[in-house]
Structure 1
Amino acid sequence: MKILLLEDDTVLADVLIDFLQEEYSVTHTYSMKKALQLSEENSFDLYIFDINVPDGDGISLLKELRSFSDETPAIFITAYHDTNHLKKAFESGANDFIKKPFDLEELTQRIENIKRHFGLSSLVEISSGIVFDTQNHIVTKEDTPQHITNKESACLQYLYKNRHRVVSVDEILQNLWEYDEMPSADAVRTLIKELRKSVGKEHILNIRGEGYRFE
């Protein structure tokens, strides 16, 4: 699980990095502008944003990311305790909110809840009778395991994570390949074709002229 952490408090940032890196891959920055750049260049599973940072605020950052159809789940951490900031955080597209000071175990439980809700655990029941092992790249359907390629695994995980909406071919290309290695749209069609063999074509719908949606 890859986490982007935006936190300008150096002491808290060090504590969070040491703690989170025991279980997750963590990329940290103190800057809102740098966080935006990192989110454009990499694919993350979770954002953890402080509300106030020197060059902006996490709420504005998340609003901008959501305007680009970035649905990566986000947790805000903040020293504010008023309902106004809580309201603004959720209106910007936040999925959870934690107030300073907080216990690290509380953060763990909130992350685990996000993982369950968005199918980010290593074993995910993506549909009745179909279990997806994201770590070992195995789809088990009707008790029959089938290995899939790393890229197929990444594509299936992305489609499932964004299952409430249609995902365009361009979006899949941008999130699964580096810019200088990006193939043609045919590569996505090949991935989808192979994935349908593993999970069933009824679970990956082709929305003509728009893209694909996991059902």
Structure 2
Amino acid sequence: MTTIFLLEDDPILGKAIQLQLELQSYRVEWVQSLTEAKNRASVTSPPDLFLLDVNLPDGNGYDFCQWLRGEKLNTPVIFLTARTDEESVVRGFEEGANDYIRKPFNQKELALRIRNQLSDMKATLDLVRFNGVTLIKNQQVLKHGEALISLNRREFEILTTFFEHPETIVTREQLIERLASGEEIFDRTVDSHISHIRSKLSKNGVKGVKINSVYGQGYRLEKAV
């Protein structure tokens, strides 16, 4: 279930937003102060979207957004505020906001903006890039320039692991664990798939990345010199 973290100190407005979003099948975690937000927001298991009021009893939403971005969270942030001056809007975006809604607002408008941000985030998560080469997860292909390189399921899982952990040693055990789906996988199976991936990279002229063997440990995706 999609989770939305709502920071809003107005109890009437906060409850109204929570009820409306829950009717749309969102899970809403609602807090009413900056302190409570920092205590309850998880950076290891973040929500899918943050809705932040600006004016709070113990600070402002800008500070919270700045804290989120400082923790390297790319989760979408939408500000909800009565501030309408251009300076406040600009500051919101400077602190890392994705959108800015002025109060009072229509619930339908809020719902649409939330859907747009979630859709944009999903599209971003479907792409993983490393040194000019892009792995398109929802199409299970590798893109280099205008060329699209098709991958079978196991090749895709292996490359996804490498692209999610570039320039890091990935052991055969880790790859076997990722590939296993009720079937027995052997070291030589992993080696064979990596050989096929290397062949596809070479045949399609991919020069930006390479998969190097690390003796006695596994493999590592690196930038090609």
Bin for the TM-score computed over the shorter chain: 0.5 to 0.7
What are structure 2's unaligned runs of at least 5 residues?
A: 129-133, 142-148, 180-189, 202-208, 211-219
> In structure 2, what is the Cα distance between the partners aligned to 1:131 and 1:33?
38
Task: Report the equivalent of 1:107.
Answer: 110
Structure 1 segments unaligned to the other structure (5+ residues)? 133-138, 147-151, 160-165, 170-184
How far, CA to CA, are the matches of 1:102 and 1:81 in structure 2? 12
- Per the alignment, residue 31 of structure 1 pairs with 33
Residue in structure 1 matched with residue 97 of structure 2 by the alignment: 94
Normalised TM-score (structure 1): 0.60
1:1-215 paired onto structure 2 within 5 Å: 1-21=2-22, 22-40=24-42, 42-119=45-122, 132=138, 190=174, 194=178
Cα separation, 1, equivalents of 2:39 and 2:167: 21
- Aligned CA distance change for structure 1 residues 106 and 74 (closer, same or farther; 3 Å): same
Three-state SS of the structure 1 residue aligned to 2:28 is strand
Q: How far did 1:95 drift? A: 0.3
Query: What is the RMSD computed on CA atoms of the aligned residues?
Result: 4.4
CA-CA distance at 1:167 after TM superposition = 9.1
TM-score (norm 2): 0.58
Deviation of residue 40 (structure 1)?
Answer: 2.9
Q: Is the 2:76–2:118 contact (alpha carbons within 8 Å) kept by the matching residues of 1?
A: no
**Residues in 1 aligned to 2:78 and 2:176: alpha-carbon distance in whole angstroms:** 31
Q: In 2 relative to 1, CA 10–140 (structure 1 residues): closer, same or farther, beyond 3 Å? A: same
Q: Distance in 1 between matches of 2:167 and 2:7?
A: 28
State the SS of the aligned residue for 2:88.
helix
1:113-165: per-residue Cα shift (whole Å, max 9, x none)?
Answer: 101211079xx865999664xxxxxx8779x997xxxxx9xx99xx6xxxxxx
Asked if the contact 1:45/1:120 (under 8 Å) is kept, the reply is no
Name the structure 2 match of 1:175. none
Deviations 1:167-208 (A, max 9, x none): 999xxxxxxxxxxxxxxx989x837972799xx899xx89xx
Report the count of equivalent residues.
166
